[in-house]
A = this chain, B = another copy of it.
Amino acid sequence: MNLENAQVQMRKGILEYCILQIISRGEVYASEILDELLNAKIMVVEGTLYPLLTRLKNAELLDYQWKESTSGPPRKYYILTEKGTNFLEGLDDTWIELAESVKSIIAKTQK
């Protein structure tokens, strides 16, 4: 148990939310998602992202389409299903509530 581990733990919970957010903007493939998450300082590696995308696909929140690339191997472009869109709306609320919960606990600490 060290600080780095705890940071990993903390961002785990919101990973799914961020991925759905990114896909909600339009079709995107895994490496692009990976880059954007890293840009936003949300640490994630392939071994986490790919299985997670597969789980979301199996849960019918996502769908994908293979498309050829002019500069490398073919890519899986993901989009949200209708179910995924509804799910994401639920997570929007959850995130807001969670942020408020943390805020309320911090406020009590500082009282």
Q: Which residues of A contact B (CB under 8 A)?
A: 1, 3, 6-7, 9-14, 16-18, 21-22, 24-25, 36, 40-42, 55-56, 58-59, 61, 87, 90-91, 94-95, 97-99, 101-102, 104-106, 108-109
CB distance from A14 to the nearest CB of B (A): 6
CB distance from A3 to the nearest CB of B (A): 5
Known: A13-B13, A42-B101. 10 other contacts (CB 8 A): A3-B91, A3-B94, A6-B17, A10-B13, A11-B13, A17-B102, A21-B109, A40-B104, A42-B98, A99-B99
Question: What residues of B have a CB within 8 angstroms of the CB of A95 in the complex?
Answer: 10, 102
Q: Are B16 and A109 in contact (CB under 8 A)?
A: no
